[in-house]
Amino acid sequence: MSYNERQQRMIERIYEDERLHENLTDTTATVLIEWATAQVTDATNDPAQPDAIVEAQVQAIRKAARMATRVADVTSKNIVDHAETFLLEVRSTQASTSVHTPPVDSPSVIPSLSAQKAQAVQPVEHNVDKTIDKRSQTWWRRWKARFRSRRKDV
């Protein structure tokens, strides 16, 4: 089976993620990685789909696979069931937490931002009375000079 460039990159991420197979036997890890690879291939089939959406789907697949490796009684027969269950959970949390943000170039966003900036930024007024005058700065220098002159070197 030949993969396009994006599929190849995403599948390499699955194989390079050591957390997917560090606590598993070889057969269980192989089954999990094959499942994750098939899921990634399905997620990246459409080349017209934006990279951000594909990246989010692949992250969800990797997270579900990592969660499946943490199950105590995992075997090569039931790890795919655990991973699919976790994938459904991860996707449901992603769907509930995703927020639609309009693009910055949108006219509805720009006026509100400029109004917020105008309210937040106020001109700074310098208060001359609170600045340190030169006499208080020179006082310290004079005191240090007197102290040094009184010191006796033995």
CA distance 42 to 64: 16
How far apart (Å, rounded) are the C-alpha atoms in residues 69 and 36?
A: 12
Q: Which of 20, 21, 98, 25 is nearest to 57 (CA)?
A: 98
Helix (H) or strand (E) holding 3: none
DSSP-assigned letters across all residues of 63-125: HHHHHHHT-TT--TTTHHHHHHHHHHHHHHHHHHH------TT-TTHHHHHHHHHHHH-----
Task: Determine the pLDDT at residue 60.
Answer: 92
pLDDT band at 127 (very low <50, low <70, confident <90, very high): low
Contact between 61 and 39 under an 8 Å Cβ cutoff? The reply is: yes
Q: Distance (Å, rounded) from C-alpha 41 to C-alpha 63?
A: 16
Give residue-wise pLDDT tens across range 3-51: 788 888 888 988 998 888 888 888 988 999 999 999 999 988 888 888 8
Predicted local distance difference test score (pLDDT) of residue 82: 87
**Tens digits of per-residue pLDDT, 92-126?**
887 777 555 545 444 444 555 555 665 666 666 65
Q: What is the DSSP string of 42-54?
A: HHT--TTS-HHHH
- Please determine, for residue 1, whether its predicted confidence score (pLDDT) is greater than 70: no
pLDDT of residue 38: 92
Whole-Å CA distances, 20 to 12, 25, 100: 13, 11, 31
pLDDT at 125: 63
Q: How far apart are CA 65 and CA 118, in angstroms?
A: 48
Whole-model pTM? 0.59
The full DSSP string for 9-56 is HHHHHHHH-GGGTTTS-HHHHHHHHHHHHHHHHHHT--TTS-HHHHHH
